[in-house]
Structure 1
Amino acid sequence: MRTTLVIELLAVPGAVRGVRRVLRRYLGDAGGTAQLCVSELLSNVIVHVGEGAPVTVRVRGEGDGRIRIEVADPDPYGVPVRRSAARDEEGGRGIALLEAVSLGWGVWPADGGKTVWCEVAEAAACPDGAKPPCHLPHRGDTGLPV
């Protein structure tokens, strides 16, 4: 099992690319879906909490073929929700995308903020050589309902 990767940063657009690069090194081939998810979660902080907000990203293998991604920010009230975006809207599809590629996601309050988490399948855990996202049995949420 890998050690937990912890990245503390300010939520600015240029930081998203850097976090994806670190995830590629940390997860190797297993990291494509994780990179997509962390990009979405960080982008949500930039848009909805504010550019420059302090963020902590945690990534760890759960030991059962799952990778858990957590993004903590200082806004306890800006809880992400799934929207139905109109065809011509530029935004509003992020949580639907997260739901489509992850095994599950949720939000829980933290001291002075919140943590948004999701889990994705590691490539080695996908059945019959499938590439992530693949579907593993759902373990149930460990956070608050969203």
Structure 2
Amino acid sequence: MDDLKSALSVHGITLPSLRVDVPSFAGAHSRTAGLVGLGNCNTETARKLIAALWGTGRADGSVLLDLELAVEPAVVPELRRTLRARLGVPCADVQLCVTELVGNVIRHVGEGVPVKVRVSRIGGRARVGVSDPDSRALPVLRRATADDETGRGLALLDAVASRWGVEQGESGKTVWCELA
């Protein structure tokens, strides 16, 4: 519901302006009009709606990078260089997030796995998404101890991103984050 509220707010629509508590409508089966009906959609429809609203069909949204590649450690430095060149501005936080998300796919799903990396601009924010075909290997934010050699990637992402999450689909998942 938070993602839906955020996606709608980019378009100037705030759910409180509907004078309806949308979560209370989630189980209602009566026909409703307009945006109030969004509360009646199932989870899959809500995900599709969020994806459409976060997509590039808006006047203020633009795709800065949209790549499909098979991941392996050697592609990570090239991906950072491509981001710097494409964005044309200092983008250390975006590079860090893409690197950590792609690194997680390599570590937890496997080398050679096909992924889609998308970086887009939404208003004054950057949105990073890394999609892979394994819907079972979900990211978990851990608190690494001083002696742990791994487990800090999502903590770094969590520290620099304003928010992050996972969208699961039938053919995999997308781990995304947003940066100011």
Q: How would you bin the TM-score normalised by the shorter chain?
A: 0.7 to 0.9
Please identify, of 78-87 and 34-43, the stretch whose mean Cα deviation from structure 2 is larger.
78-87
- Structure 1: gaps spanning 5 or more residues: 122-146
| Cα distance in 1 between the residues matched to 2:77 and 2:149 | 20
| Cα distance in 2 between the residues matched to 1:6 and 1:116 | 15
* Alignment map for 1:3-18 (pairs within 5 Å): 3-4=62-63, 5-18=65-78
Count of equivalent residues = 120
Q: 2:160 aligns with which of 78, 83, 101?
A: 101
Partner in structure 2 of residue 113 of structure 1: 172
Partner in structure 1 of residue 115 of structure 2: 55
- Structure 2: gaps spanning 5 or more residues: 1-59
Runs of 4+ in 1 over 4 A off after TM superposition: none
* Alignment map for 1:1-146 (pairs within 5 Å): 3-4=62-63, 5-63=65-123, 65-121=124-180
Which structure has more helix as a fraction of its residues?
Answer: 2
Instruction: For CA contacts below 8 A with separation 6 or more, give which structure has more relative contact order.
Output: 1
| Cα distance in 2 between the residues matched to 1:16 and 1:111 | 27
Contact 2:127 2:176 in 1 (8 A): yes
Contact 2:62 2:122 in 1 (8 A): no
* Seq. identity, %: 52
Q: 1:25 is matched by which residue type in structure 2?
A: A
RMSD over equivalenced CA pairs, Å: 1.3
1:76-130 Cα distance to aligned partner (Å, 9 max, x none): 0111011121211110011111110011100011231000000112xxxxxxxxx
